[in-house]
Structure 1
Amino acid sequence: MAETAYLDGPNARLAYAHTPGEGPTVVFLSGYKSDMEGTKAVHLEAWAEARGRAFLRLDYSGHGQSGGVFEEGCIGDWAQDAQAVIEAVTEGPLVLVGSSMGGWIACLLAKRLSARLAGFVGIAAAPDFTEDGFWAGFSDEEREKVMTEGVTYLPSAYGDPYAVTKRLIEDGRENLVLRAPLPMAVPVRLMQGTEDEAVTRETALRLLDHIEGDDVQLCFVKGADHRFSEPENLAMIEVAIVEVGG
């Protein structure tokens, strides 16, 4: 396992683990309140290292071992963080692997780093979830609370309640990716579990429809949940990385 290193990012001191190697660098982008010590990130790092492949995992500000306060962050900040680490420690082509919120961040980076993009893998990708998930699901009272008090809390099946802030909602609207086509002139593989309770099948289909490319595939996996971390799921991710990035 690569040792954790740090750099001063645009929003906080950022933690990352970089494994040098051949081929396009595989960059794992984790989800909302997740970190680079998650099952998929650590498994894929070991998989890449065993094959001599370059690999990068990282913690956004307010996540994991990075500095900053989670409740003060937003999609724009976390995309900036990921871009800063990628540009500081990698060179050449990239395969972006985005899990849940990381799929949204990967979409943003695919546009910003398009000249370096070699492939894209989305795992239960959750683009635009602050608007189409949180805001759309709020009652009038919850909407008023978040806009006047600055924060509201939602229960989570994955740990502590989600703190949804006014800044998260407003910044999310500045970074939506499902309102216009997403050009990706690289191989794209999207995977979605049928038992995912956090991201809907409709979201996966919307992302499929918005990506413009000649090699874009979506695979629904019967029985898989949002974590997508069972051994057979991890094996599918490995295959997808090879398909898009050699």
Structure 2
Amino acid sequence: MTSNMHGEKARELELFATRQMGCNYWALEYQGHGDSSPNFLECTLGTWLEDVLQLLDAVGSQQQFLVGSSIGAWLALHAALRRPHLVQGLLLLAPAVDVTQHWLQVARPAGVDQHGHELVELPSAYVESGGIRVRRSFIEDANQHCLLLHTGQLEALTCPATIVHSMRDDVVPLHLVQRLADELAQSSRSFHLELLPGGNHRLSREQDTQLMCRLLGQMVQAALRAGPG
């Protein structure tokens, strides 16, 4: 939730997509991150989903392969469900789908912001302060985007999907990923789960990024062999 388009995975993907695959590449930086607007506390999952959909619509009729990490994977699934004609495949890295159920258990009260909105802190080993402050309304909004609370919400997903997840992930519980994998195995036209014994939530080791690029390349090549439709 604190990554930006200058991160290691984004750079590796750009090099792989443009130089080795000869594909166009777009890196999306959500509002409140990196070089974008500094309004992180005002953002919600719905805000970021609109960012994704606007980019897809701007690209137009070209079918895209979406790579999403953590919450980005959650958003990629929503985008594929809402723009099925534009999404040809999904690579989901450490997917934080429905992670709000976990957040509700670990969130710590963090006062209020300057506008009087209640704040909570989500523990994180990936920021200096040890936690990420969000408005409670952020979690409430994210809860409205859950995909696993009711079986069958992912039935409309038909594009190929691959999950890469570390069994040592300290952010997204393994049982959530297993539940997601079970549903995608039934709905997706082609599904693959890659569980790694090492690594962590960031999946930024050299072997992780190499695996990510290899799996994306396989997905693109399979789509090219299959042809339109």
Give TM-score, length-normalised by structure 2.
0.85
Per-residue Cα deviation, 1:132-167 (whole angstroms, up to 9, x for no partner):
12113347xx49989x95112233211142113122
Secondary structure of 1:54 counterpart: coil
AA in 2 matched with 1:152: V
In the alignment, is residue 99 of structure 1 matched against residue 69 of structure 2?
yes
SS in 1 for 2:91: strand
Higher strand share: 1
Superposition deviation, residue 105 in structure 1: 0.5
8 A contact 1:59–1:66 mirrored in 2: yes
1:115 aligns with 2:76: no
For 2:213, the equivalent position in structure 1 comes to 238
Give how far 1:85 is off: 2.1
Rounded to whole Å, the distance in 2 between the matches of 1:242 and 1:232 is: 15
Partner of 1:11: none
Matched with 2:227 is none
Q: Counterpart in 2 of 1:204?
A: 177
* Equivalent residue in structure 1 for 2:19, among 42, 46, 50: 50
Q: Distance in 1 between matches of 2:160 and 2:210?
A: 18
Cα deviation for residue 189 of structure 1 reads 0.8
Cα distance change, pair 240–49 in 1 and its aligned pair in 2 (3 A): same
Whether 1:220 aligns to 2:189 is: no
In the alignment, is residue 151 of structure 1 matched against residue 119 of structure 2? yes
Q: 1:33 is matched by which residue type in structure 2? A: T
2:110, 2:121 within 8 Å by CA — same for their partners in 1?
A: no
Q: 1:164 aligns with which of 134, 138, 143?
A: 134
Letter in 2 for 1:150: E
% same residue: 27
Q: How does 1:18-33 map to 2 (within 5 A)?
A: 32-33=1-2
Of the three residues 136, 139, 144, the one matched with 1:174 is 144
**Cα offset for 1:245?**
2.1
Distance of aligned partners of 1:37 and 1:90 in 2 relative to their CA distance in 1, 3 Å threshold? farther
- Alpha-carbon RMSD: 2.2
Distance 1:178 1:144, change over 3 A: farther
Counterpart-to-counterpart distance in 1, 2:88 and 2:136: 35
2:96 maps to 126
Give the letter for the 1:74 counterpart: T
1:73 has 2:43 as partner:
yes
Q: 1:229, CA displacement in angstroms?
A: 1.2
| 8 Å CA contact retained: 2:167, 2:198 | yes
